[in-house]
Copies of this chain bind each other. A is one copy, B any other.
Amino acid sequence: MSKGVRTRAAILGEALSLMSTDGLSGLTIGLLAERTGLSKSGLFAHFGSKEQLQVAVLQEAQACFTTHVIRPVLDLPRGLPRLEAFAEGWWAWNRSPPFPGGCPIQAASLELDDRPGPLRDEIAGAQRRLRAFIRQGAAMAVAAGHFRPGLDCTLFAFQMVGIAFAQTMTCRLLGEPEGLDFVRRAWRLQVDGALGTTQNQTGEMNHVE
């Protein structure tokens, strides 16, 4: 596999950087051509349409996330160790991803959530897969006895996604240096709430009014 595939990869890499700062709608063919040193038409020929380019970029972003965050933790033992390592890797990714801007998946998720079409489908799929990964990770921790039985792993994933977004707000938008501390403490609270407890009651339902 040669030239064509290689330049296509280079284009997507540059596109990811551009998108991380300017968003999907800021990803323009002219600008991208300029940064890659290609002509507009030469670059365009690789994708056939702007939308196909955008889809390719979203897929590239997922692949990059998998490489940097998911794959490394798959070597670790299932359950809590893997989950903890994934968390730490995710926080690191969110704070300083391999792009000049922030996490492109988070950005695209809020950019596309009201515009039905192939782009939204793509990013929605990414979020679904991510949540499934977390959910299964939590389920493994339950199976391994690290987390208490009856834990709602879907809710667990929901909460973890929330922490990740709150991190982006704190670390990137507000630029607060202590942001990572809040992330870790919120995550610790969530994990502690999921641990197997000595006197464990009804499971997820807690409360009393």
Residues of A within 8 A of B (CB): 20-23, 25-26, 100-102, 106-107, 109-115, 120, 123-124, 127-128, 152, 154-155, 158-159, 161-166, 168-170, 172-174, 182, 185-186, 188-189, 192-193, 201, 204-209
Seed contacts A123-B173, A192-B204; 20 additional CB < 8 Å A-B pairs: A20-B114, A22-B115, A23-B111, A25-B26, A101-B113, A107-B111, A112-B173, A113-B173, A152-B185, A155-B185, A158-B166, A158-B182, A159-B189, A161-B162, A162-B163, A162-B166, A165-B169, A185-B204, A188-B204, A188-B206
Q: Which 8 A-B pairs have the closest CB atoms?
A: A162-B162, A165-B165, A162-B166, A101-B114, A113-B173, A113-B172, A21-B114, A158-B182
Quick one: closest B residue to A174, CB to CB? B124
Quick one: closest B residue to A188, CB to CB? B207
**Nearest chain B CB to A54 CB, angstrom units:** 14
Which one, B109, B189, B209, contacts A204 given CB within 8 A?
Answer: B189
Greatest chain B CB density within 10 A among A124, A158, A163 is at A158
The complex places the Cα of A165 from the Cα of B164 at a distance, in Å, of 9
Which one, B112, B120, B158, contacts A186 given CB within 8 A?
Answer: B158
CB-defined contacts of A206 to chain B, threshold 8 Å: 188-189, 192-193, 207-208
Q: What would be 9 A-B contacts, judged by CB atoms less than 8 Å apart? A: A100-B114, A101-B114, A128-B174, A159-B166, A161-B162, A192-B204, A201-B208, A206-B208, A208-B209
**Nearest chain B CB to A16 CB, angstrom units:** 13
The complex places the Cα of A193 from the Cα of B124 at a distance, in Å, of 31
